[in-house]
Amino acid sequence: MPEQKLEIQMLHDRLLVELTPEEGERRSTGGIVIPATAQVAKRLAWGDVLGIGTNVRNIKVGDRVLFNPDDQLEVEIHGRGRLVMRERDVHAIASERIEHGTGLYL
């Protein structure tokens, strides 16, 4: 029996997010190399929005969102890890939409 592919529809205020791949080591603005194994305080992460529920108001598919990955639920789809979260758990949005913002760019 062939495997049937089903479409995923997020419900309510849920988002389906793929973590943006992190580089192994980072470099500070002063040029200091920070290894991937360095212990840092809680660090927020960026992710790409793959799907949104019907009650999501401010986020669109394709936006990059800033969130705490430790507080989210993980699911595996087609062998890749994805995160499921509520819209209210997002701290910031990076998108090409022109609205009022901070004046900072990624």
Give the domain CATH number at 89.
2.30.33.40
Please check whether residue 1 lies inside any domain of the structure.
no
**pLDDT given for residue 93 in this prediction:** 92
Dihedral, 93, 104, 45, 42 alpha carbons, nearest 10:
-120
Average pLDDT, integer, range 66-88: 89
User: Rounded to whole angstroms, how far apart are CA atoms 94 and 106?
Assistant: 8
Domain span at residue 68 reads 14-21+39-94
- Structurally, how many domains does the chain consist of? 1
pLDDT tens-digit readout, 35-69? 656 656 677 889 999 999 999 999 999 999 999 98
pTM over 0.85: no
- Burial class, 90, CB count within 10 angstroms (exposed 0-12 / middle 13-18 / buried 19+): buried
Residue, of 74 and 98, whose pLDDT is higher: 74
